[in-house]
């Protein structure tokens, strides 16, 4: 796939995923430090790949938030496929 086609495909993916993130901006993720609640903040590139950026929300319902923040940090990056998998998992749970 050439660079132009890749960019066009990423734009189409980002438009679709942006709509999903508007409808459900929060995502619950299990990390190696526990379960945390995250909120979509932006798209960015990491290692030449389009990724979704999420920020950890300090929520009293998720007791592991401080542990996650301390050990991992407040940001989480997911590829489109990882996000769709997590989104689908939560939708069916």
Domain positions in the chain are 3-92
CB atoms within 10 A of CB 52: 24
Query: Token pair for residue 17?
Result: 């995923």
- Residues 29 and 56: their CA atoms lie apart, in Å, by 10
- Which tens digits make up the pLDDT trace of 43-88? 888 887 888 999 999 989 999 999 999 999 999 999 888 888 887 7
Q: Of 30, 48, 45, which Cα lies nearest the Cα of 77?
A: 45
Residue with token string 């050439």: 2
pLDDT of residue 4: 56
Q: Of 43, 39, 40, which Cα lies nearest the Cα of 12?
A: 43
């Amino acid at each position: 796939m050439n660079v132009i086609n890749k960019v066009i495909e990423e734009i189409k993916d980002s438009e679709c995923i942006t709509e999903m993130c508007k409808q459900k901006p929060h995502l619950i993720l299990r990390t190696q430090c526990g379960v945390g609640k995250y909120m979509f903040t932006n798209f960015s590139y990491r290692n030449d790949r389009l990724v979704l950026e999420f920020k950890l929300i300090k929520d009293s319902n998720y007791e592991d938030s401080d542990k996650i923040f301390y050990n991992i940090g407040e940001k989480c990056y997911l590829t489109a496929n990882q996000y769709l998998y997590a989104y689908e998992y939560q939708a069916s749970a």
